Structure 1
Amino acid sequence: MLFTNATILTMNERRDIITDGGVVIEGNRITQVGKANDLALAHPEQERVDLGGKLLIPGLIDTHVHLAQAMIRGCADEYELIPWLCDRIWVLQGNYTERDGYASARLCMAEMLKSGTTTFLEAMLAHRYGFDGIAQAVEESGIRACLGGIVMDVGTYATQTAAMHPGMIESRETSLLGVLKMHEKWHGRLNDRLHVWFGPRTPGGVTPELYREMSDHARERNMGITMHLAEVKADREFLQAEYGLSPVRYAESVGLLGKKSVMVHMVWLDDDDMALLAKTGTHVSYNPSSNAKLGSGICDVPRLLARGVNVSLGCDGAPANNDYDMIREMKFGTLIQKAVTRDPKVLSAETMLEMATIRGARALGLEHAIGSIEVGKKADFAVIDLDRPHTAPAFNPVSSLVYAATGGDVDTVVVDGRIVVAGGKLLSMNEDEVIAEAKKHAAQVYRRANIPAGPRWPVI
């Protein structure tokens, strides 16, 4: 298949931008990238898709997602993190069935695909959500997924005791051993679109012994680890009081750091923490909207990058962000850094786009396969229509994409060589049915949890 007539942000090593560009794919791989006319002459019989001058970019990579939270969007606005978890999120999620988990995952994947995200890293997939059903949703949607199964053995959070809803508490046998079973069953399946990771709970929810056991399994099986860390001040206070260590030093002590690890949020760090992250090759997932909305603080991305730490981008979950739109996340992610530092140059649109593409691929250990438009890489890309009143004229496509566009401007999405969105329409699933099922299951969850859903103002 030959995609022609596009401006291509290749994200290759030189960061080439190709005007009047084209991409040839065979199967699920990119076989040629260049000028559209040259490719058309070389492949006169090839099936063609004319992109009408739109912008073609590597598929966006979201390195922190909670699939189960998509259908409880807006359930806990204006809450701080700990009461947000204890009073709302865990109560709702603790009442999920496997069918609820499946419905929410499909809604989340539909939103991600339609806004240009082709790969994501799920952080803490609880046993009760039904791993097999989530994997089925990955298969149906066509998206590329790294699913982090939850690991835990303690039902507390940092300085809070007896805080976790009983429906969310899992044992070592259910969590750790369950993830290992899912790894054996699903890792590398769906033409290598599905990878299985460990997604342990934050310190306070996992004993040091279980962390070490999990880390040993991860090294033996070359599995990835992703975990929330240093998200709020309470995380730092808890680890200092309990172990006399900073969050990153504690993570190192139980084997969590390394090139196969993505630590999420990382707001409450000091210089020594950052140096250790760089030394160990540990990756960081920056989640600006979530951290800002919950009042947790802002990750010091410029200092991390200056230290040589690879930083990627994540949307987090719908109750903490309210959407899974990586294009909107790029804009907020750079603007908030400029605001807090009072420096307009501190984090550029170009760096932010790297974080959403090639740096995200690096964090997932997939830089060889995705994250840029290059020969030999998998055919994962998104096409954005910048010929709209709020984005035109797009003389600088990077600026227009990061600062002016939204996920609603995505026209076409290709994952693993398959067109899954065309003309802004989802092709891999029935969008109306996905939304209807999510609404039905969400209403059932709210009723079981005895939590009101709706506006705070009077409804007449």
Structure 2
Amino acid sequence: MPPRASNPSSRRTGPSPSAPCPRSTTSSAARPGRWTGRSARLSSSRCSASSTSRPPRPPSITSAFPRAWVLAWKTSSPTPSQAFTCPPTRTSSSRSPEWGGGRIMRTLIEGGWVVAFNGKSHEVYEQGSVVFEGDRIVHAGGPYAGPADTRLSARGKLVSPGFINTHVHTTGNAGDYLLLDMAKNDYRTSNYMSFAAPLKGKMTPPPPEAVAALRTFVFLHALRQGTTTIIDVGGQRGDWEGYVRLIDELGVRVYGSPPFRDRNTFSDAQGRLYYDHDASVGTQGLKDAVAFIREYDGAAQGRLRGMLNPSQVETCSEPLLRACKDAARELDVPVHTHAGGNLVEFQRIMDEYRKTPIQFLADIGFLDDRALIGHGVFTTAHAWSHYPFGDDLRVLAERGATVGHCPYKYAKMAMTLCSFQRYLDAGVNLAIGTDTFPMDMVAELRWASILAKVADANYQAGQHRDVFNAATLGGCKFLRRDDLGRLAPGAKADILLINLDHLGAPVYADPIKALIDAGSGRDVDTVIVDGKILVQGGRTTRIDEDEVYARAREVTERFWSNVPTWRWDGAPVDRIIPPAFPIHGAATK
């Protein structure tokens, strides 16, 4: 549970004098779940209130967001440009720790740089405060003078909304390690086929305990580096009850369901890629995904929500994609697919439908404001596509689809979106995802900003506010969640405390620019999801993370040892990815 106040007399003893604030009315957030799982317990921790006030910093000339200078609530009524406060609330759905008598605990975060949402945009408060009660924020902005049951000091830290990671594969990094295959060079940007196109019938699925180990590792790896909402776009298959139970126990927030397709990918004995079509496999996969959502949407105290996942645009036939979208509308859930991800996919869709992947998806009714497009790199806007006919960016913008941009994954394969700024200027809703490892959302912000500048040869492209918005607000649109990605009354208490004041960081005037220019996921000190502290002091609070890492290493190394059995040329991992320098293993006794 969140840490108790060291002084019992600080407990709230009466109603807050602040004015009422409406709860979020977003349908996907408010729809009750149909499943109640076993609640996980958050280990107790203790945190003391800051006893000294930090001297104010001088105002910066060019901040990423406007800084609001405000008086304490006691001496000034809150306005939209000052503090945002809700009265204490009690909801039967809350699973937060309670004091005796059933009263929900109120927690105050104080003394840091607070990124509050004013209803239209983020703005930053120096020595601001955030108050949450149960799983909801009741105040975000300037100083808070009301009662609190417990306090967390954010001195020297950025208090940020949690990041929405729109591209997570719950498979671990065993396959990712093979992306830069040095033994094969004809992937044509579809490098993930280095592990996703084995010899048919040669790759054995991992056992359930290995699947659980990798899922646990991925969830905690992403969580520790600032992700509070995980968009699971496809991972290990099987043991879906275990998947739900794991989400419940770890406390993470996840959108997902079993992925499906009707064209599996394989390599022949000469290393040539081919697609093996089986309509019945795709149809059954969609049925399984729909059944999963009907059974588990709203599980884990509402933190698991359904989302349909047709794997890739070229691995799904048109009838399967149409049926998927029909099911998504009936279930009222978002849908994700990979599209514009590589040149092989781009050309296959061009050959089959004589149009770009984006235009194809638009023409079959797949693109709308509930669609998330993974990557969206190869469009009419990209020079490598060599297709100047039409305007994919206009199509994306007009249909309201979201593009999940994964900058680091593409940068290490020598390419990028062309460009972040061009998509933004065209009106495309952009979000940020990691896809590959490390799942460091802080670093992804810097990659997105720098690559935008390089792609456009313009240092004014890829502004800090725009990449921060993409990692927070941008990821909420296709979810139809106005209670995520922001710190505001009524929003979910998904909060990050990120260290800024240390010798590994620069002296700064604007904390958002300091975060993006010099920050790292390792700077994330505290992660709160649904009002529960899941990471504190940079360590997970519910599980032994050393054991999680050791188990993931064991499973990953087992996968690597088996690569020659399904690889077309029988190559071992150290030939596919040679070490940087010769490695001499430890001597055995």
TM over 0.5: yes
Written as runs of structure 1 = structure 2, the 5 A alignment for 1:282-361 is 282-317=401-436, 322-361=437-476
Q: Distance in 2 between matches of 1:18 and 1:335?
A: 26
1-structure distance, mates of 2:459, 2:155: 34
Map 1:141-180 to 2 at 5 A. Answer: 141-156=250-265, 163=274, 171-180=281-290
- Show the counterpart of 1:384: 498
1:144-199 deviations in whole A, cap 9, x for unaligned?
11114312111248xx9864699x99812441111011101211111211112111
SS of the residue 2:255 aligns to: strand
CA distance in 2, matches of 1:295, 1:94: 32
Q: Equivalent residue for 2:226?
A: 116
Structure 1: tracts of 5 or more residues without a match: none
Q: Give the match for residue 194 of structure 2.
A: 87
Map 1:22-37 → 2, pairs under 5 A:
22-36=129-143
**Are 2:259 and 2:289, in contact at CA under 8 Å, matched by a contact in 1?**
yes
Kept in 1: contact 2:261–2:282 (CA 8 A)? yes
1:66 aligned to 2:176?
Answer: no
In terms of fraction of residues, the more helix-rich structure is 1
Higher mean Cα deviation, 429-438 or 172-181?
172-181
The corresponding residue for 1:211 is 321
* d(CA) in 2 for partners of 1:76, 1:202: 18
Cα displacement (A) at 1:330: 0.6
Q: Is the alpha carbon distance of 1:427 and 1:253 closer, same or farther for their aligned partners in structure 2, counting shifts above 3 Å?
A: same
Q: Alpha carbons of 1:133 and 1:169: their partners in 2 closer, same or farther (altered >3 Å)?
A: farther
Following the alignment from structure 2 to structure 1, what is the Cα–Cα distance between the partners of residues 280 and 160?
40
1:48 aligned to which of 151, 156, 165: 151
Could you say if the C-alpha distance between residues 232 and 82 of structure 1 is closer, same or farther in structure 2, counting changes exceeding 3 Å? Answer: closer
Shift of 1:311: 0.4
TM value normalised by structure 1: 0.90
Write the distance in 1 (CA, Å) between the matches of 2:193 and 2:126: 51
Distance 1:139 1:70 in 2: 23
Q: How many residues align?
A: 448
Is residue 412 of structure 1 aligned with residue 412 of structure 2? no
Letter in 1 for 2:572: P
Structure-2 separation of matches of 1:93 and 1:377: 44
Q: Looking at CA atoms only, which structure, 1 or 2, has the larger radius of gyration?
A: 2
1:226–1:263 contact (8 Å) kept in structure 2: yes
Cα offset, 1:453, TM superposition: 4.2
Partner of 1:241: 351
Equivalent position SS for 1:20 = strand
Distance 1:126 1:310 in 2: 29
Which residue in 2 is equivalent to 1:138? Answer: 247
CA distance in 2, matches of 1:169, 1:142: 37
2:59 alignment counterpart: none
Change in Cα spacing, 1:294 to 1:176, as seen in structure 2 (3 Å) is same
Percent identity of the aligned residues? 24
The CA deviation at 1:31 is 0.8
Partner SS state of residue 301, structure 2: helix
226-235 vs 55-64, greater mean Cα deviation: 226-235
Judge conservation of contact 1:199–1:226 (CA < 8 Å) in 2.
yes
Residue 112 of structure 2 aligns with an amino acid whose one-letter code is A
What is the deviation of 1:249? 1.4
Unmatched 5+ stretches in structure 2 = 1-106, 381-389, 565-570, 585-589
| Mapped contact 2:452–2:461 kept (Cα < 8 A) | yes
1:364 Cα shift?
2.5
C-alpha distance 136-362 of structure 1, shift in aligned 2 (>3 A): same
How many Å separate the matches in 1 of 2:563 and 2:309? Answer: 25
Residue 296 (structure 1) shift: 4.7
Query: 3-state SS of the aligned residue for 2:525?
Result: strand
Counterpart residue number, 2:583 = 459
CA RMSD of the aligned region, Å? Answer: 2.6
Question: Do 2:446 and 2:517's aligned partners in 1 also have CA atoms closer than 8 Å?
Answer: yes
For residues 372 and 204 of structure 2, the distance between their equivalents in structure 1, rounded to whole angstroms, comes to 26
CA deviation vs aligned residue, 1:85-107 (integer Å, no higher than 9, x gap): 33324549753333322211111
